Amino acid sequence: MKQYFRTAATVVMMAVINLVGIPVSAQKEQAQGSNAVSTSLVISQIYGGGGNASGVYTHDFVEIFNRGSQPVNLANWTVQYASSAGTNWLPSGPLPNFSLQPGQYYLLQFASSGAIGQPLPTPDYIVPILNPEGFIPNLSATTGKLSLVNIADRLPALSCPTDASIIDMIGYGTASCFEGQATPALTQTTGAIRKGGGCQDTDNNNNDFQIGPPAPRNSSTALNPCDLGGALQAGINANPNSVAPTQTTRLTVSVVPATTPPSTGITVTGDLTDIGLSANQQFFDNGTNGDQVPNDNVFTYDATIPAGIFGGVRNVTAVAADGQGRTVNLNQIITINAPLPGDDPLLFGNPSGATPDIANENNYLMPKPQYTLSYNRSKATPNWVAWRLDSSWIGSTPRQDDFRADPALPAGWFAVGTNDYSGSGYDRGHMCPSGDRTNSVPNNSATFLMTNMVPQLPANNQGPWEDFESYCRTLASQGNEIYIISGPVGNIGTISSGRIVVPQYTWKVILVLPNGTNDLQRVTRQTRAFGVVVPNFTPLDINAPWRNFRTTVDAVENLTGYNFFSEIPKNTQELIERRRDTL
């Protein structure tokens, strides 16, 4: 089923059919995807331990199953694999002209890591060597993601693509993309096997798959037709799935009516209290309230997020029901792009007076739960990025490295992509560092949005800049909270065919407080505040310590024209901003 999730960055979709008694659980991930309910093909089994030291079979495999009521021709379909956090989707090659019957399995043989294990049953398709890679895709034995795609083209280089061609998505282990919730990690001796012989599909990988000894089936295996006629099916989607207060997201529920007996009187009702709206909101299938086509069993509601709501991951639920008493419980996660409670990085002031008005295109305010930024459309970089750091933001989550365009940019604006820095000689330089957001996969993933990047000289980004980032995390580990604002200044050229400005310097200002509450009231004349300004041009010593570039907040204000910490009483502000730091 094509409802899939990105840990990073935005929506969880899960349809649970009460007839099978599967509980609904709220997810903590961001996601994207379609709400189209798959009534035909699904991935029914995966195994990635082929040929390993403890491998059960000599080769990795993926099994496809037709859970629908009509034959499906596999010509030019593909199964595409990417690593847990990867963006490079490796296709199986276009499948041949084969009519997969209802209840029939289809076995794809992938690569082998050795000669350990027993041979697979006769595969229906052997994945060929890829061009230009020169190898057969090798599935991870523990963690990864797979898409069933109804075209031969490769998926775009995204950690969680949302193409309409994706029919089913499976994430296992720590995969960054999945339906509802990823399955547990696999091993060299276990696979992920769809329940009900392949029939169960509730848009939640963790619910739909069991982990156990692999048992591959091919097209010669006895048919296992699924009786779905008595079940009401539905899926939910939010577009966009990541919104700021006062913005609108379109909530859509697509319903597949039951046929035995036929569904009548279908309704959809949502509980939107977690996003500050009604607990009993009707969805519409009459051409109003965002609904596009009346009476097509696609129910819609345009939800406007109230002003003043805190940011973070919010849970929306809905129930699709028919007059025959059948119901489907739906669960959706929406990310509210606003500061978290007690974590407003602009508590001490908005340095440029940025606003969320798209007409203010070169000082466009973009709040997120992880940080807030002012974006400059003409430069295709942030003017500044602000965030708050304390030890609660630090954990053990690895770098996601899922660089990607920011979907929150207004429609029609050039969105810097992952390859726009390629061959430029400049790093994709984080403003809010990956290392400052390691308490969860979604929070770390958010730092790889390209609106958080500026072109940085490697000797800058990997030298004193990184040195200062590490120093700030040390301060946080010592019981401090740090308010940080960072950005570029100047123009020494462009990259990406003139679309992205290369800054002359990168700068950062910080204000340090011991952990506590009422931060604005706790600032005194002794509060530590200072800045750093690092050249973004050669020559620059990559081993130079960050203290070589330390300066006053006043100096950074003079360089940038911004007014930092403007909410602090004027006398105190002036004193801490002109003081030279010596620690």
**pLDDT at site 37:** 54
pLDDT digits (tens, 9 = 90+) for 466-505: 999 999 999 999 999 999 999 999 999 999 999 999 999 9
Task: Supply 357's token pair.
Answer: 């008005």
DSSP string across 428-465: EEESS-GGG--SSHHHHHHTTBGGGEEEE-HHHHTTHH
The answer on pLDDT for 32 being more than 50 is no
12 or 216: whose pLDDT is higher? 216
Whether 254 has a pLDDT exceeding 60, the answer reads yes
Q: Is 59 a catalytic residue?
A: no
For tokens 């061009």, what's the residue? 131
pLDDT at 427 over 50: yes
Mean pLDDT of 201-213: 88
**Catalytic residue from among 428, 430, 508, 550:** 430
Looking at every residue in the chain, the average pLDDT score rounds to 90
* Residue 120 CA to its chain's centroid (Å): 35
At residue 256, the pLDDT reads 84
Alpha carbons within 13 angstroms on the beta-carbon side of residue 315 total 12
Residue 121 — very low, low, confident or very high, per pLDDT cuts 50/70/90?
very high
Other CB atoms within 10 Å distance of the CB of residue 401: 15
Averaged pLDDT for residues 64-78: 92
Q: What is the pLDDT of residue 38?
A: 60
**Which pair of tokens denotes residue 575?**
């004193």
Report pLDDT for 369: 93
The boundaries of every CATH 2.60.40.1260 domain in the chain are 38-226
Of residues 236, 206, 234, the one with CA closest to residue 331: 236
Q: Where in the chain is the domain with CATH 3.40.570.10?
A: 364-578
Give the whole-angstrom CA distance, residue 563 versus residue 348.
10
Do 15 and 44 form a contact (C-beta atoms < 8 A)? no
Region 517-539 average pLDDT: 97
- Position with higher pLDDT, 6 vs 380: 380
Within its chain, how far is the Cα of 500 from the centroid? Answer: 24
Q: Is the pTM of this model over 0.95?
A: no
Answer for the pair 229, 260: CB distance below 8 angstroms, yes or no: yes
User: Which residues belong to CATH 2.60.40.10 in the chain?
Assistant: 233-336
Per-residue pLDDT tens digits for 529-549: 999 999 999 999 999 999 999
Percentage of the chain with pLDDT > 70? 93
- For residue 25, CA distances in Å to 233, 333, 346, 451, 552 come to 18, 11, 34, 32, 50
Q: How far is CA 166 from CA 71, 79, 104, in A?
A: 18, 10, 20
CA distance to 148, 352, 354, 526, 553, per residue, from 573 (Å): 57, 16, 20, 11, 10
Q: Say which CATH topology domain 233-336 has.
A: Immunoglobulin-like (2.60.40)
Does the structure show a pLDDT above 70 at 364?
yes
In CATH terms, is domain 38-226 a member of 3.30.450.20?
A: no
CB 1 within 8 A of CB 178: no
Angle at 204 between CA 79 and CA 80, to 5 degrees: 10
Longest dimension (CA), the chain: 82
Higher pLDDT among residues 207 and 287, named by residue: 287
Reported confidence tier of residue 426, pLDDT bands at 50, 70, 90: very high
Which one, of 11, 13, 34, 47, lies nearest residue 209 by Cα?
A: 47
pLDDT in tens, 431-467: 999 999 999 888 998 999 999 999 999 999 999 999 9
CA–CA gap between residue 132 and residue 135 (Å, rounded):
9
Q: Which helix (H) or strand (E) holds 240?
A: none
Count of alpha carbons within 13 Å of 370, Cβ hemisphere only? 29
159 token code pair:
């950690």
Q: What is the DSSP letter of 341?
A: T
3-state SS, residue 44? strand
Average pLDDT value for residue range 522-526: 97
- Which tens digits make up the pLDDT trace of 298-320? 999 999 999 989 998 898 999 99
pLDDT of residue 12: 30
CB 296 within 8 A of CB 246: no
- H or E segment to which residue 50 belongs: none
Could you give the 3-state DSSP secondary structure of residue 213?
Answer: coil
List the single range of 93-97, 155-159, 229-233, 460-464 with lowest mean pLDDT.
Answer: 229-233
Q: Chain centroid to CA 499: how far?
A: 25
DSSP secondary structure string, 521-562? Answer: HH--TT-EEEEEEEE-SSS--TT--GGGGEE-HHHHHHHH--
Best CATH choice for the domain 364-578 from the list 2.40.50.140, 3.40.640.10, 1.10.357.20, 3.40.570.10: 3.40.570.10
Closest CA to 434 of 459, 470, 460: 470
Q: What is the number of residues in the chain?
A: 583
